[in-house]
Amino acid sequence: MHTSIHGTGPHHLVIVQPGDGDADASAALVQELVATGEFTVLTYDRRGLSRSPAGDDPVTIESHTDDLALLLAKHAWPPADFLGMSIGALIGLDLAARYPALVRTLIAHEPPLTQVLPDPAPFVARQRAVEEAFAAEGLPAAMRQFLALTALDLGDREPDAQIPRPGPERAANLTFFLTHDAPAARRFRLYLEPLLSGPPPRVLPAVGTSTSTRPHAEPAHALARLLGTAAVEFPGGHSAHVLRPKAFAARLLEVLR
| d(C-alpha 193, C-alpha 212), whole Å | 26
Task: Give the tens place of pLDDT for each residue, 126-170.
Answer: 999 999 999 999 999 998 888 888 877 777 877 887 777 777 889
**Domain extent for 155:** 3-256
d(CA 160, CA 1): 32
Per-residue pLDDT of 15-29, as tens digits, reads: 999 999 999 999 999
Residues of 199-233 as b/e, b for ≥16 C-beta within 10 angstroms?
A: eebebbbbbbbbbbebebbbbbbbbbeebeeebbe
| Sequence-ordered list of residues with C-beta below 8 angstroms from that of 133, at least 6 positions apart, any chain | 141, 142, 144, 145
Q: Where on the phi/psi map is residue 110: left (φ > 0), alpha (ψ -120 to 50), or beta?
A: left
Asked whether the beta carbons of 219 and 4 are under 8 A apart, the reply is no
Number of domains observed in the structure of the chain: 1
Predicted local distance difference test score (pLDDT) of residue 215: 87
Q: What is the CATH number of the domain that holds 89?
A: 3.40.50.1820
pTM of the complete model: 0.95
> What is the spatial distance between Cα 129 and Cα 216, in angstroms, rounded to a whole number?
14
Contact indicator for 92, 16 with CB cutoff of 8 Å:
yes
Q: How much helix, strand and coil, in percent to the nearest 5, is found in the chain?
A: 45, 15, 40
Residue 234 sits at the vertex; the CA angle it makes with 215 and 143, to the nearest 5 degrees, is 45
The pLDDT score that the predictor gives to residue 231 is 97
Residue 209 carries which side chain, given as an amino acid letter?
Answer: T
Residue 223: pLDDT band (50, 70, 90) is very high
Dist CA 21 CA 83 (whole Å): 13
pLDDT at 257: 85
Q: What would the pLDDT profile of 27-86 be if each residue is shown by its tens digit?
A: 999 999 999 999 999 999 999 998 998 888 899 999 999 999 999 999 999 999 999 999
Average pLDDT over residues 88-112: 97
Cα–Cα distances (Å) from 135 to 108, 139, 162, in that order, read: 29, 9, 31
- Nearest 5 degrees, angle CA 127-CA 131-CA 137? 135
pLDDT, tens digit (0-9, with 9 covering 90-100), for 224-256: 999 999 999 999 988 889 899 999 999 999 999
pLDDT value at residue 153: 77
Non-local CB neighbours of 230 within 8 Å, separated by 6+ positions: 221, 224
pLDDT band for position 112 (50/70/90)? very high
C-alpha distances in angstroms, 165 versus 9, 77, 158, 231, 244?
A: 29, 32, 17, 32, 16
In whole angstroms, what is the distance from residue 248 CA to residue 99 CA?
27
What pLDDT score was predicted for residue 148?
A: 82
Q: What pLDDT score does 56 carry?
A: 82
